[in-house]
Structure 1
């Protein structure tokens, strides 16, 4: 069933927004901003760890620094060459990213070159090395010359400091900077199910996607975007840099570490503005509930928060409820939440809830979902609670397709989500065969629309809303029916207080025999409590899933995740099998395996 929805009507609390001609590229948007009426108004404001203002740039100042940095890039390579843009502090990332585009180069956002202590340097080096091998960049932009990587790590790259002052006022943008058909950036996927791949994002797709978000959420010059999201991730890049330029809004940003250290800094920054758009993954709202106490909640005013996007990982109804309940004294309204769904292959957004309309939460029958149909649950014991991620953004068409037959499924049926949108990207860098499979899909027996992006995600359409049920590659097949790992993880986490609000990973025990494995993080260390917890989780999962169950408790931060916070279930399975996960406790409904000859000799 085809679902092409028009932009929602303006909300009753805001007057209709004046429709202005849309710039064709982000550089054109910057040029317009720097020559318009708001040219002297702060565009980007960077906050420190305590929420103090570190730096501010108007559009005119930003353009001056962009031109100076683009002039330095002009000395290296040619148009179309790739440039690494690490997540730089303050306003440096925005300058570096836009300078790449201004110079006609292809920006490649990457994590910080020197990671924080909590992140494993080897993991970051491996990821950076994989990206360099894939796209062969000629240079990297850094905050200062001393930030260049030494030795072999830095060999083969020109290290260019971001300009600290305006320069080259007469420098014109490279023709590619004003060509909507040109490539703007490579957005490397976070690698939840595979090695990172460079998604080719064109200027036209980037603009179309964020213009659709702008129109759905009525973001304009009266709005301030407040973000702590990492710039090397698609949601952080679009929210913190692209959307403000496309919409005329201002942006207030801070380092991700500032939010993790004290989530209240984010909320205080929201409180300081008049009309706020802010986006974050589900875990961020949960962290606010756990880390900000009742007394602090009573001293923060969130009444100016108009759009609170929840996306980038599964949206949980319990998180929406918990945050709304916890911050009711802060004047937060539940209808401010706008759950969304998107992926790098479509630039970012695909669906998004309408602001000031409460997100629908539906309880579907677990067994019916396993058979591929979304029907209301008869009781809470058999229910899976799913949050509607909104209708498609303006201009976006979604089909739910049987992944085996490629036939379009009716509303209420669960299948793979396919997307036809102006923001669909051009493919994966230097991977033609894989690009054709993912970006060139067409439903069987239908010539309408397309080509589509195959998302690899499963879901259904219900009343015009998209409900996401899980990843196709992560599905647990039990007795010929499909179960979703996040549901199993939720059941395990809810079974005992030692596992409450903790990360979990579930997958089929294909190599070790029939059944399902669940690894749950915990801060608990009492062996007796842990023994009860793993047993409670195992019993709860076994009641919900007709299969043998094995549950393993591990310390916090040991379940692998991607750079955007998604659980890497395959890597977790590999770590468990290889003995790389130190176990605190375990329980299994599987019968013990007979000991092999070597194991019997060790037990003698």
Structure 2
């Protein structure tokens, strides 16, 4: 593969600092990163030379307050100060720990748990957030004496002449805390060797034999935002345009606008991002955008929906989007990022399988139209990688077409979680029964393989078993949110509860309504429509349906549904359920 990164005399395991040093020497004035503000106005820019200078300035300050191997929290809102801070950590030889920025009480417990687990000696933030970050973390006993440093892109200090830390392949490049959709977030220890392996795997899987322009809006503290949108384009020597995730959520048409304006080749996000664009299609189509430069639209981080791929392609083909641009893939923080991917020259593989068969643990052809469901292929195993479908209870490998837990082995798989020895052993050091081969990562996700293609069906811990049938909550939630107008997308949770008298598992669905429909929605009609739709599509009866105020469903920092926590709140009767309120209470709530 020939691209600009191979102009460098990089070591066998390239480090990010080594790459930056080479880029700054060979093309110092080229733009590496651009950050777009409101209405996609260019707000911040970093050339390779400027990134190197600022990273050296703040890296030297880190050295004054830390030792190599110390953890350093990075708590930034969107912007390029985060990028400077990340590379400054690599200059100093300390371990960056990206963390979601706090706003008020939101995610306070999660952030405090991460801070206490990683035991950082320094906290980095930007100038605007410095006081808030200090106020949020300093109450913790271990952070009262920590050093707090604000990163300012306007800092004009000359770069120090000191040499950068020379990292070994096994040293930690960063600690990536999981989103915690089924448990308390844990810090994945990603080494320089893990990172280099996965960045090269991604380059090959994406077919990036040049230096394509990237556009990304995912949060930079999230594995997709950090690796797919920052480190991968940097690794390639590509130009990267970044956007605010909050701005995208409220004005999703700015995403295709950026792709059109900067002739981006690679950009992507979770499935819901494409659904948001479909909902705002009139604004996008009327704006005169040109999406013909977009060659790879990765779709990952949540179940990939065949209907979304079809609708998005049909909607935006008139402005240049092509069917083979879609790139469904599978990845997670515990594997550094990417696990499987296909070919960028092929259209996504969509397979018709039996809904009833999946419920029984196998992916056979449907018996009839009612039994049919569509599974989207998420690609194949990457170079130097081993993939297995395994019975999660017996650790025995399963044959093609059988549903089991997805296990993966390869050079990109880290050793474990920071400070969680037993969880690390259980998750990162699994062995397939009867095989003397490598250690495997247990992904916790369920899926099957047919013709070497991986199909992901859901999370093992989220799987619901009712009367002997496997029920995937994502499918139930997807059906529910489309059954009645005014229901909020990506804001439902399906889970099972046990009848205390009979011991029978029953299915419960909690679904948020949209902000403008809290008072107007017909609760009885909506719940009836949801129940009928799920019965018709999945042949499953939902025992209890509750409609909730917007914002009631607990989510991770990256927007994944916390089903286990929703179940606890349901049992504790702490969910804000619309149907439990009197008309007078509802009217009062609407006037807040």
What TM-score do the two structures reach when normalised by structure 2? 0.90
The answer for the alignment partner of 2:465 in structure 1 is 477
1:91 maps to: 80
Partner of 1:128: 111
Does residue 143 in structure 1 map to residue 126 in structure 2? yes
1:251 counterpart = 2:240: yes
* 1:324 to 2:307 alignment: no
Alpha-carbon distance change, 158 to 397 in structure 1, aligned in 2, over 3 angstroms: same
For the pair 1:451 / 2:460, whether they are aligned, the reply is no
The residue that corresponds to 2:165 in the other structure is 174
Match of 1:538 among 531, 545, 553: 531
Q: Which residue of 1 aligns with 2:139?
A: 152
In the alignment, structure 1 segments of 5+ residues that lack a partner are 1-9, 11-15, 116-120, 587-604
User: Are 2:549 and 1:558 equivalent residues in the alignment?
Assistant: no
Q: Distance in 1 between matches of 2:412 and 2:284?
A: 44
Q: Which residue of 1 aligns with 2:575?
A: 581
In 1: Cα distance, 2:166 partner to 2:318 partner: 53
Q: RMSD of aligned C-alpha atoms?
A: 2.1
Describe the SS at the equivalent of 1:504: strand
Task: After TM superposition, give the deviation of residue 171 of structure 1 in Å.
Answer: 2.0
* Cα offset, 1:42, TM superposition: 0.4
- What's the CA shift for 1:125? 2.1
Deviation at 1:60, TM superposition (A): 1.1
**Deviation string, structure 1 residues 310-345 (Cα, Å, up to 9, x no partner):** 111111111112211221222111210101111111
Partner Cα separation in structure 2 for residue 272 and residue 103 of structure 1:
37
Distance (Å, rounded) in 2 between the aligned partners of 1:122 and 1:500: 23
CA distance in 1, matches of 2:209, 2:50: 21
Instruction: Check 1:395–1:295 CA distance in 2 against 1; reply closer, same or farther (3 A cut).
Output: closer
**Local SS of the residue matching 1:505:** strand
Shift of residue 96 of structure 1? Answer: 0.1
Aligned-pair CA distance for 1:275: 4.4
2:228 matches 1:242: no
Deviation readout 1:509-542 (Å, 9 max, x if unpaired): 2255531001122233466733112012123334
Residue 28 of structure 1 is matched in structure 2 by 18
Once the two structures are superposed, the pairs formed by residues 197-208 of structure 1 within 5 Å of their partners are 197-208=186-197
Between the two structures, name the one with larger relative contact order (CA 8 Å, sep ≥ 6): 1
3-state SS of 2:107 partner? helix
1:464 equivalent to 2:458? Answer no
| 1:356 Cα offset (Å) | 2.9
* Whole-angstrom CA distance in 2 between matches of 1:374 and 1:356: 26
**Residue 348 (structure 2) aligned to one of 355, 359, 368:** 359
**Contact map agreement 2:60 2:160 (CA 8 A) in 1:** no
- The CA distance in 2 between the partners of 1:510 and 1:69, in whole Å, is 54
1:420: Cα distance to partner? 0.5
Q: How far, CA to CA, are the matches of 2:86 and 2:511 in structure 1?
A: 38
Q: Which residue number in structure 1 is paired with residue 586 of structure 2? A: none
For 1:509 and 1:545, locate their aligned partners in 2 and report how far apart those are by CA, in whole Å: 19
SS at match of 2:534: helix
Structure 1 residue 222 and structure 2 residue 216: aligned? no
Alpha carbons of 1:353 and 1:49: their partners in 2 closer, same or farther (altered >3 Å)? farther
Secondary structure (helix, strand or coil) at the match of 1:222 reads coil
Which deviations, in whole Å up to 9, do the C-alpha atoms of 1:374-395 show, x marking residues without a partner? 0121333112222111112222
Q: 8 Å contact 2:467–2:505 — kept in the other structure?
A: no
Aligned residues of 1:185 and 1:201 also touching (Cα < 8 A): yes
CA 1:500 to 1:141, structure 2 compared with 1: closer, same or farther past 3 Å?
closer
Counterpart Cα distance in 2 of 1:81 and 1:18: 32
* Cα distance in structure 2, aligned partners of 1:359 and 1:106: 38
Deviation, structure 1 residue 273: 2.4
Tell me the alpha carbon deviations over residues 347-400 of structure 1, each in whole angstroms, 9 at most, x when there is no partner. 011012321311111221111111111012133311222211111222221100
Q: Provide the residue aligned with 1:47 in structure 2.
A: 36
Q: Number of paired residues?
A: 562
Following the alignment from structure 2 to structure 1, what is the Cα–Cα distance between the partners of residues 107 and 156? 31
Residue deviations 1:482-503, cap 9 Å, x none? 2211122223234334447452
Judging changes above 3 Å, is the alpha-carbon distance between structure 1 residues 498 and 362 closer, same or farther for their aligned structure 2 residues? farther
Equivalents in 2 of 1:483, 1:556: separation in Å?
Answer: 25
- Counterpart secondary structure, 2:134: coil
1:493 pairs with 2:481: yes
Q: Which residue of 1 aligns with 2:253?
A: 264
User: Residues 295 and 419 of structure 1: is their aligned pair in 2 closer, same or farther, counting only changes over 3 Å?
Assistant: closer
Q: 1:423 aligns with which of 407, 412, 416?
A: 412
